[in-house]
Structure 1
Amino acid sequence: MAFRKRNIALSRTPEASLDPSSPSSPLPSQGVAPLAHSSPQPAPSIPGVRPSPIDGRATTSTGTASLDAILAGHAGLPLGNSIFIGESGTTDYAGTLLRFCAAEGVVQGHKVHVVGVGEGWGRDLPGLHEGREEQKEKKAKEAQERTEKMKIAWRYEGLGEHGVARGSSTSSSGQEESVFCHTFDLAKRLTLPVGTAINYIAIPPPSKSSSFVSVLESLQQHLASSPPNSIHRLVIPSLLSPALYPQFASQPQHVLQFLHGLRALLRKYPARLTAMITIPLTLYPRSTGLVGWMEHFSDGVLELSPFPYDPIQALATSAGATKDEERPQGMLAVHKLPVFHEKGGGGAGLGDAGEDLAFTVSRRKFTIAKFSLPPVEGDTEAQQGAAHDAGGGTMPKKEDLEF
């Protein structure tokens, strides 16, 4: 086997070939800055926005932690998407979800746009819930600060040590502001900040040709005039309700054109705008073609089906239930989820395998959980098994151990 010598002439060093002043350098000699290894600057964080654990897209909270958990595994509502919630009956549980969403936006400093209702709706937003643990920590912290002040001599109080302590308290408050999803209390009322935190968009009189043109124009104007890192939330309670909208608003050429224009705005501002809409299904059933097209223009579709109210059963349940046991108010059906088809989606743990979901509205929270029927009356084995599971297990009898 013969070896052949290969002469490779290296006339210049790699450093010389990259020198802009060299005549044979491929880089131009003018207007070229020297190469530097600079680390990428992190993007500024926006309150109430975090990346999705699936694909990293920006998501925000709906104000309800259990609702965030079922949104296709994104742990929140992806920006640039909408949720369409239908509810049958005369209840307004869907309106509670909208109030949580609006309250979360106000607390996070987002711009909230509410369509069709007045300032009275905004004054009924739930306030922040302060748990017992938070109150205990607050009292313990205040007691610790008082003891530290008593230990330090009075002549050292004006020095810079107390300024450092105050700075740490502000940093701790900054951490509280970075909470993704807050807990609200329906028995309290949220104190709105001074300024225009909520933009109320009124429905024009019936003399107009279309009731939704002004809504899109107002929303477009606020998006164009606001900073590029601002987050906007559109909330539309009881869409097409006769108490809020004129009769011709339910015609397809009006409402479908509005939803089509809203979808265009969501795609134009994919990192700044979200929307939540509710509709009374008793007046507009899902079997109609109008509601079908409305769901088609929405990214997520949910349906609330409240249980019929039985005062006797409700009294018996409230008398025998504990604080941890709360009777669900109805069923929740997930018909479509936002960004479910990209990169797998799902993985939320609720409703993935076709499981039934139920919702419970208590004084302080709106909870979505798996639904299971209680044991049938007369089935002693099932009732004993349920009691065994609820009581943490008991020792079996001697007769049960004999074969």
Structure 2
Amino acid sequence: MSFRKRNSVISTSATAQAAISKIENAPILGVRQSPVDGRLTTSTGTVSLDNLLAGHSGLPMGTSLFIGEHGTTDFSGILVRYFVAEGLVQGHQIHALGLHEGWRSDLPGLSTDVKSSSKSDTPTGDKMKIAWRYESLGSVNAQRDREALQRQNSSTAGAASTFCHSFDLSKKLNPSEVKGQIGFHPSMAAMNPNPKANSFDSPFKLFINAVSSKLANSPPSWIHRVVVPSLLSPTMYASSSSQPEEVLQFLHALRALLRQYPTKLVVLITIPLSLYPRTTGLTRWMELLCDGVLELIPLQSDSVHAPPPTSKSDAKSEDKVQGLLKVHTLPILHEKGGGSESHSAHDDQSFSLSRSKGLIIKPFYLPPADDDSHDQKTADSGKKDIEF
């Protein structure tokens, strides 16, 4: 029989506790704290959309974003692709409702356009004319500084990670760059496997059960993203799904999962407003059950229906406004308020599609009226001179 002092500390347990604390405090890829209140946030895959979300610089964990789009365009679908691609690159778990396996090939790839701002890119004619010995001394110092910077970057490469990646619409997501997993769930009703029950299982209930089981059995460090594109679209959902008791119960269940797992789950939902306008009671109830509500209004022009811009027309597409964006509600910390509205989110916003930057959201300004009057005056003066 061995005896041990009561207040003695076993070294093995101390090391085990230190290892466990290190694992718990390890940073999670794709997640950082909000600059407003320190809440965990994740990126939507679009930098301009992250900056619009109440100053959190990302979508707060445990919240949902509801995006409605008018017309037959698919700008909201591009936001969904960026949202899913960002999650797969960060190693998150994706749960998609109503999509098929072939949709994975439509995800944009990582952009490789890197702009270097090193001193070696400066032309030789702009260098200072100094003595050869001082010039060599400067090159030695620059080489020493460059080596120190490389060592510092290599030492901090594991600690720092990219919060929002840059994607290119003209490329496809490489399977080697994918770290996460995506699960596709059907949106049409399936026959009940029980032969005695002549009923159909609701796709909403099956999806909720699958997501809740994944959340319950996953480690705390796993981040889950739920994507519901084109909700209640006739091409993806049965007519029974548009019943209020079906879709509202589904959104209630999603909201309950968000409140149950506030640090592991985010939701992105899109809906065609041409079929379900905001004037109907069903759409307004769906908006009330979501934390953030955005409205996309594409402009009627030929550029809207054009394919994604190429590298040559990328600069022109950024300047050309392709639609308006209205912000109705933003994700906040609690019902009494929270977040910052200093970004003038309630002002008129516009968006344009770029190949390398995705959907660019910026404030909308009308051109000054003086330019039109000046052009009209110059045209009239020219006519008068010709007549004279």
Q: Is the shorter-chain TM-score for this pair beyond 0.5, marking a shared fold?
A: yes
Separation in 1 of the partners of 2:376 and 2:47?
32
Q: For the structure 1 residues 346 and 195, does the alpha-carbon distance in structure 2 shift closer, same or farther, using more than 3 Å as the test?
A: closer
Separation in 1 of the partners of 2:76 and 2:313?
28
Pair 1:262 & 2:244 matched = no
CA contact (8 A) 1:48 1:179 kept: yes
Map Cα deviations across residues 46-101 of structure 1 (whole Å, 9 max, x no partner).
01111111111100011111001111111111100000000010001001111111
Separation in 2 of the partners of 1:321 and 1:128?
16
1:241-256 alignment, distance < 5 Å: 241-256=233-248
CA contact (8 A) 2:314 2:355 kept: no
Match of 2:46?
A: 64
1:204-283 alignment, distance < 5 Å: 204-205=188-189, 207=191, 208-283=200-275
Which residue among 19, 25, 28 is the counterpart of 1:43?
A: 25
Match of 1:118?
A: 100
Structure 1 unaligned regions, length at least 5: 1-29, 34-38, 141-165, 385-403
Which residue among 329, 333, 338 is the counterpart of 1:336?
A: 329
RMSD: 3.5
Tell me by how many angstroms 1:347 deviates: 3.8
Q: For the structure 1 residues 377 and 58, does the alpha-carbon distance in structure 2 shift closer, same or farther, using more than 3 Å as the test?
A: same
CA contact (8 A) 1:80 1:269 kept: yes
Match of 1:371?
A: 364
Q: Structure 2-normalised TM-score?
A: 0.73
Tell me by how many angstroms 1:383 deviates: 9.8
Which residue among 349, 371, 378 is the counterpart of 2:343?
A: 349
CA contact (8 A) 1:84 1:301 kept: yes
1:68-83 alignment, distance < 5 Å: 68-83=50-65
Match of 1:327?
A: 320
Q: Structure 1-normalised TM-score?
A: 0.70
Q: For the structure 1 residues 305 and 171, does the alpha-carbon distance in structure 2 shift closer, same or farther, using more than 3 Å as the test?
A: same
Pair 1:55 & 2:37 matched = yes
What secondary structure sits across from 1:230 in the alignment? coil
Match of 2:286?
A: 294
What secondary structure sits across from 2:350 in the alignment? strand
Q: For the structure 1 residues 184 and 303, does the alpha-carbon distance in structure 2 shift closer, same or farther, using more than 3 Å as the test?
A: same
Amino acid at match of 1:308: Q
Pair 1:105 & 2:90 matched = no
What secondary structure sits across from 1:366 in the alignment? strand
CA contact (8 A) 1:299 1:339 kept: yes
CA contact (8 A) 1:329 1:361 kept: yes
Tell me by how many angstroms 1:201 deviates: 1.2
Pair 1:127 & 2:109 matched = yes
Q: Which has the larger radius of gyration?
A: 1
What secondary structure sits across from 1:360 in the alignment? strand
Q: For the structure 1 residues 173 and 126, does the alpha-carbon distance in structure 2 shift closer, same or farther, using more than 3 Å as the test?
A: farther
CA contact (8 A) 2:318 2:352 kept: no
Separation in 2 of the partners of 1:378 and 1:370?
20
Match of 1:200?
A: 184
Q: For the structure 1 residues 106 and 196, does the alpha-carbon distance in structure 2 shift closer, same or farther, using more than 3 Å as the test?
A: closer
CA contact (8 A) 1:211 1:254 kept: no
CA contact (8 A) 2:110 2:171 kept: yes
CA contact (8 A) 2:321 2:351 kept: yes
Pair 1:186 & 2:169 matched = yes
Structure 2 unaligned regions, length at least 5: 1-5, 10-17, 122-149, 192-199, 378-388
Separation in 1 of the partners of 2:46 and 2:208?
27
Separation in 2 of the partners of 1:338 and 1:89?
26
Amino acid at match of 1:252: P
Separation in 1 of the partners of 2:208 and 2:352?
34
Separation in 1 of the partners of 2:221 and 2:8?
32
CA contact (8 A) 1:350 1:369 kept: no
Separation in 2 of the partners of 1:258 and 1:320?
42
CA contact (8 A) 2:36 2:340 kept: no
Amino acid at match of 1:329: Q
Match of 1:394?
A: none
CA contact (8 A) 2:350 2:362 kept: yes
Tell me by how many angstroms 1:366 deviates: 1.1
Separation in 1 of the partners of 2:103 and 2:363?
31
CA contact (8 A) 1:201 1:218 kept: no
Match of 1:306?
A: 298
Tell me by how many angstroms 1:43 deviates: 2.4
Separation in 1 of the partners of 2:37 and 2:86?
24
Amino acid at match of 1:203: S
Match of 2:382?
A: none
Identity of aligned residues (%): 48
Match of 1:27?
A: none
